[in-house]
Amino acid sequence: MWRAVHFARALLLPSDWDRKPEEGAIAAQCKIVKSFFVSDASKTVGLERLFRLVFALLAFVWPALYIREIGGWAGYPIRKIAIDLYVVFKLTLPLVFLATDTDQTWLGVGVTILLLAETVSYLVGVFLFTDVYPPPYSKRRSYFLVLVNYFEITFDFAVLYRGVGEISKITTAMDAVYFSTVTSTTLGYGDIAPEQQIGRFLVVVHVSTIAVLVVAVIGAMASTLRQD
């Protein structure tokens, strides 16, 4: 039993797995918010300053901040593992909704919208706070998580297309995943198209979200290159 535990720890965690972060996630986020009320601390003005403040405050709404805080009690690498598990949960939940037809209930749609909003808020934050957040624990891990975010967004919109999109040709979960994937990649085969305003609105939001993802990735990579 203990050998299996030690093996799993050696496989998944670095040797300094119990290294504590310098400060908690909540305290660090509070420091970012406070910086906007100090004259030049945030180095921004006007709409940019207001926009950054709004998204800094939004972080307190989402579960990820509190998962990072609690995970940090066990150690910095453990906090990263906790976030990884949460990201995997967010990736698989819409698939569960699609497989169980929960996507056609208000519960499934509501939870999906909340998780999608958190992901979009995180991606915008990646772009807005590249000068504030510390360098990533691992660049490869960060790029992998962004790829997971891409698929999560695709599956989230699949739930919304089938649940509230009112698209007549989407009758199965596979139809929803197919149409959402085509929209995410901007291929647009034309075999499935939204007929109602709500479906067209979802497509507009979907494509805009993918654009936010692309901008966030480019901004983060440019920041990393400057640091290097």
Whether 67 shows a pLDDT value over 90: the answer reads: yes
Domain count of the fold of the chain: 1
Domain hosting 125: range is: 20-227
Across 2-16, average pLDDT: 56
Q: Is residue 12 part of a domain?
A: no
pLDDT of residue 172: 93
Q: Is residue 130 part of a domain?
A: yes
pLDDT of residue 213: 87
Q: Is residue 2 part of a domain?
A: no
Q: What percent of the chain has pLDDT over 70?
A: 82
Look up tokens 């699949």; give the residue. 158
User: pTM of the prediction?
Assistant: 0.86
Q: Is residue 137 part of a domain?
A: yes
CATH, residue 28: 1.10.287.70
Residues 6+ apart with CB under 8 A from 177: 98, 154, 155, 158
What digits encode the pLDDT tens for the residues 110-142?
999 999 999 999 888 877 777 777 666 677 777
**The pair of three-digit structure tokens given for residue 130, joined into one six-digit string:** 């590249």
Whether 78 shows a pLDDT value over 90: the answer reads: no
**The pair of three-digit structure tokens given for residue 204, joined into one six-digit string:** 């507009």
170 and 176 in contact (C-beta within 8 Å)?
yes
What digits encode the pLDDT tens for the residues 167-224?
989 999 999 999 999 999 888 788 899 999 999 999 999 999 999 888 877 766 655 5
Of the candidates 96, 92, 122, which has an alpha carbon nearest to the alpha carbon of residue 107? 96
Q: Is residue 67 part of a domain?
A: yes
Q: Is residue 217 part of a domain?
A: yes
